[in-house]
Structure 1
Amino acid sequence: RYGQPRDKTIQLSKALSWLLRHAVEEQGLTFQPGGYVYVSDVLKHPSFQSYTLDDVHKCVETNEKKRFGLKTDEQGQEMIRAHQGHSIDAHVDLREITDPHEFPTVVHGTYLRHWPNIGQGGLSKMNRTHIHFAPGMPRDSGVISGMRSSAQVFITIDMEKAMNDGYKFYVSTNNVILCPGNSQGYLPSEYFKSTIDKNGKLV
């Protein structure tokens, strides 16, 4: 059927995102150092028994947002991880940002319906381990992931001010900027530089 291979890859990507970001231990699998899980264990899981190792390779290689990474252990066994987006502590090796000027533009994308709450209370990590940001606007050079392509509102963050006040920022392998927020998981709106809609108008 036309489109079936692509559909299969998309379905696998969604299933891997669910498992690796949110459900590894709940589903009886074990994290290895760096947030990796053995591919052989993934393929034994009931949700993945219709997929092959080649399917996993294709999914990782063709994923536009570079959500996943593969590596091989000393015994030659392949492992896979999600680079970011976790709601569970996967111990992914993120790099802490120490110089705010490394990323002159830090943007969070959201939707108009969420803006009133965000404008008042700040950004929340919700059920994830970090608040997600992109190092620029969609389609800017170097922006692979960090916000949904359907985002309607773009909040630019004053990362230097936030870092000076003790907030920690990290960058993932696929260039997503991550912040755990304060003790309640929030980055307050006092660190917002500007907020625009997709037409460039101030919100």
Structure 2
Amino acid sequence: MQMKDCRCLVTSFEPLNFPPNIEECAQRCMKDGYVDVEDILELPEANNKTEQHVRNIVRKDDKRRFALRESRGILQIKATQGHSLEVLKLELKPVTHYTEVRCAVHGTRIRNWESIKSKGISKMGRKHIHFAQGERGVKSGFPPYCDMAIEVDVKKAMNDGIKFYISENDVVLTEGRNGHILPKYFKKAYKINTREELPF
């Protein structure tokens, strides 16, 4: 999804007051143009709107500017008419040494942990797996709805040939290997609220 497509997704959905942070929304888009509704609604700027608000507005939209689907039990939305649906091409800086990354923390939900600790972190149809360079106080790369975090050993992964990049807004990105970062690269996994570490 290009910048103009994500701008349409956010600004033309005025009844929802979607957040104006266009770049961050675009980075979360799937290859086919879909983005998780919860990624948008969990942002403070969404003003406590719900998935039902989204469903109602899409249903009543005579122009059919948006499409909904459910994937893995998660509601997703995309802009439909007149959009190229290409992934936003970010300016990415290749990481040449692991010390360039302060840390790489992936936020997720505990409900996904059983699958992740078995199969690893998946890019799930996106271009990259996203990591924040920290947990608290970061503006990008760490979705606010997450209740657990996984810290990845960038040094170990890079030693095995996995490439990392840093985006303009300081998000660490990787395609992993075959779209995954395997559990052998996990440094630790923990619940955010209690700091309880999870075995893997």
Q: TM-score band (shorter)?
A: 0.5 to 0.7
Aligned partner of residue 156 in structure 2, secondary structure: helix
Q: Give the counterpart letter for 1:85 in structure 2.
A: R
Gaps of 5+ in 1: 1-19, 25-35, 70-80
User: Cα RMSD over matched residues?
Assistant: 2.9
Q: Give the counterpart letter for 1:181 in structure 2.
A: G
Deviations, residues 158-198 of structure 1 (Å, cap 9, x unaligned): 00110110111111111111111112x11100000011111
TM-score scaled to structure 2, two decimals?
0.60
Report matched runs for 1:20-169 at 5 Å: 20=1, 36-37=3-4, 48=12, 60=20, 63=21, 67-68=22-23, 82=26, 84-88=27-31, 89-139=87-137, 143-169=138-164
Q: Give the number of equivalent residue pairs.
A: 140
Partners of 2:98 and 2:109 in 1: CA distance: 26
Q: Runs of at least 4 residues of structure 1 off by over 6 A? A: none
Contact 1:138 1:149 in 2 (8 A): no
Q: Name which one, 1 or 2, has greater alpha-carbon Rg.
A: 1
Identity %: 34
Gaps of 5+ in 2: 32-86
Partners of 2:159 and 2:14 in 1: CA distance: 50
Partners of 1:38 and 1:180 in 2: CA distance: 23
Contact 1:180 1:186 in 2 (8 A): yes
TM-score scaled to structure 1, two decimals?
0.59
Equivalent in the alignment of 2:187:
193
- Deviation of 1:153 after TM superposition, in Å, equals 1.0
Contact 2:93 2:165 in 1 (8 A): yes
